[in-house]
Structure 1
């Protein structure tokens, strides 16, 4: 027994030696070293190296809650037109990647905004127009609850070039000190563009940018909606749809009828933007200009008025493209001698056929030919970039201008306020407005200048807007803002009066009485107005990181 046990132990010892010898012959695998994230100081605070690369990345974001009270004049029941309060929760994520190269910094930047809101002006005209809103359905939800998904930024910068979705190089003061952004002035937070910026040293630079025209359009007169001009009953001669405007047609030089032209604009050429800028320790200054094409389509049928026979519009004039333009000057002055962080903005713009660049229609989103400053307001503003003159067949450009001032003041490092105000005017060609009424409306219509009620017609009237507001914000800790803001807006006719759309909703003037008041078909005097105003208050809690 002892012999067997000795043999077994010996065999085990031998196997152990052999196994150890073979194990010694095998290659030894070393553990992969852990690559820790390293701070990148080359591009500023918050950047770190993406492991295994020489690219620095900064991740940032925002969380926001806000509630809005918007004055409302609506007198009946019509969906969200009676809502006074709105609420919104918003999240933002941003990724800034930079790599140092022999040609300078290669940068790519992406920013997403996600929001869910209910109530007035959260499903804004601008976002609806740009396809950024997902509306809820149902009796109590449609148009009153909205999810917003927006790729706010997605651009590449390299060797002076910027390509992608970025802020327009035309803009300067982009409502920087406002929560609501209700002042007049160009503010296109993002558009698709390709630009080159040349720097000359000592703070001077120049930029030439080719930008997407779609987000700068305001509808031509006759487009946007089937009732964008007047009620269909006023169009005895026009049978077209929502995007048509009339033009007198002829056959062998003889007028024969009215052709309907498609005035829904097409993307045929980009907008061209140029900017000269100076940046210094005391602030910044910029002079920018833009050229914007306006175009209309071909005739799409019509109504023969004279001579009988088959309608034909082969010789109807094709409206030639016109080119809107705008110029803008802006000044930013740092005023630390008042308090550290204090800043003053001054800006002015003028344009023809380019209301979005001037910013006269920015608050309402510019996606309709007319709109108002609050639901049920007494009058509408008209926002057409041009009117297709029905007698000449040419696009008659509108004119507009705006000025804005904004001042930010720090009472203490934790408390700050902003005050801001703006004023602007816009006008349309009188001849084209008269011609629209002469050609499209019967004598009994208030659109026809032969009718005495024409003077109370609100279509294509020259108007102005005044906006004033202020805010108070508390930042108890870094990157946390708790604030409130109030804004007053007034829209008014440049001259004369028009039918009060609030008190006489749906009423049409057919003439005037002995006292010079507009009357309806029953002879009842209709109320008139020359201005409308509204105010709103918004509170916000926001944390940036």
Structure 2
């Protein structure tokens, strides 16, 4: 940590201790599997655009420790809906667990899910009370052969409550890209108001159409949906008081 900025390297270990193959403990469970994550981060200070301006960037790789990449800004589970010209609506599915295992054939060991990603932001201070940050992020999840075979192979289930009849491509790998801008106003010390506008794009690898059974949580009816890469825009307004 110097006047010019900060360089950081970090590692983490994660013990994947999972539940049972069946509904009760007598069915057994896979052995624990250790996952890990490594991250590099760089902060550049004293840039010529203004006092206090800063550029922050970081990159991460995980193996069986997905949450160190898919954090609050980019969640690990998606079921996003949109418009479609060939079906009732479109839908994009994505899931990012730490590991995958199956109960078939007496039960498998855990297979880790690998992810990588990076994020960066530039913050400019307009004056002592106002600043704006432009940020972006990209993350990708990659599944192994066990996950792809059990989800997409012969006799696979694809997604719970979904018919595979119209699926032309099945691959659980996916990527998430995000761009956002946040403006903060601090009228007095320890009181900040902010407005955060964010665009998220889900690049999922499924294609075709599916017969979706519907879900009460989304209020979507049972119908045929097109598998499509969705986009979403969110606006978060926040007031924060520190003591």
Question: TM-score by structure 2 length?
Answer: 0.75
Match 1:291 to one of 2, 13, 22:
13
Q: Which has the higher contact order (CA 8 A, sep 6+)?
A: 2
Q: Report the alpha carbon displacement of residue 388 of structure 1 after superposing the two structures with TM.
A: 0.7
Shift of 1:492: 1.7
Tell me which residue corresponds to 1:532: 230
Evaluate the alpha carbon distance shift between residue 343 and residue 387 of structure 1 in structure 2; reply closer, same or farther with a 3 A threshold: same
In the alignment, is the contact (CA less than 8 A) between 1:353 and 1:399 conserved in 2?
A: yes
Alpha carbons of structure 1 residues 446 and 424: separation in structure 2 relative to 1, 3 Å:
closer
Q: Give the unaligned 5+ runs of structure 1.
A: 1-278, 303-313, 508-523
The answer to whether the 8 Å contact 2:90/2:227 transfers is no
Task: Name the CA shift for 1:476/1:352 in 2 (closer, same or farther; >3 Å).
Answer: same
Cα distance in 2 for residues equivalent to 1:327 and 1:284: 17
User: Which residue does the alignment assign to 1:84?
Assistant: none
Q: Which of 54, 78, 99 is equivalent to 1:371?
A: 78
- The one of 276, 282, 297 equivalent to 2:4 is 282
Q: 1:401 aligns with which of 107, 110, 116?
A: 116
- CA distance in 1 between counterparts of 2:232 and 2:189 reads 34
Q: 1:322 to 1:338 in 2, by over 3 A?
A: same
Matches of 2:212 and 2:155, distance apart in 1:
22
Please list every run of 5 or more consecutive structure 2 residues that lacks an aligned counterpart in the other structure: 83-88, 215-222
| Number of residue pairs aligned between Structure 1 and Structure 2 | 222
Q: Which residue of 1 aligns with 2:217?
A: none
Report the equivalent of 1:426.
Answer: 141
Quickly say closer, same or farther: Cα 1:462–1:498, change in 2 above 3 A.
Answer: farther
Q: TM-score, normalised by structure 1?
A: 0.36
Q: Which residue of 1 aligns with 2:213?
A: 506
Does 2:44 align with 1:322? no
Q: 2:127 aligns to what?
A: 412
User: In the alignment, which of 483, 493, 511 is matched to residue 194 of structure 2?
Assistant: 483
Deviations for 1:453-482, whole angstroms, at most 9, x for unmatched residues? Answer: 45455xx71111011111222334444433
Higher Cα radius of gyration: 1
Q: Which residue of structure 2 aligns with residue 347 of structure 1?
A: 58
The answer to which structure has the higher strand fraction is: 2
- Match of 1:462? 173
1:272 aligned partner = none
Matched-pair contact (CA < 8 Å) for 1:446–1:452: no
Alignment match, 1:386: 99
Structure 2 counterpart SS, 1:434: helix
Alpha-carbon distance in 1 for matches of 2:17, 2:154: 21
For residue 218 of structure 2, what is the aligned residue in structure 1? Answer: none
- 8 Å Cα contact 1:317-1:393 kept in structure 2: no
- Aligned mates of 1:539, 1:499 — CA distance in 2: 36
In 2: Cα distance, 1:534 partner to 1:402 partner: 20
**Cα separation, 2, equivalents of 1:496 and 1:374:** 14
User: What do you get for the CA RMSD once the two structures are aligned?
Assistant: 3.4
CA pair 482-454 structure 1, distance change in 2 beyond 3 A:
closer
Q: How does 1:170-319 map to 2 (within 5 A)?
A: 279-297=1-19, 299-300=21-22, 319=30
Counterpart CA distance in 2 for 1:299 and 1:414 is 56
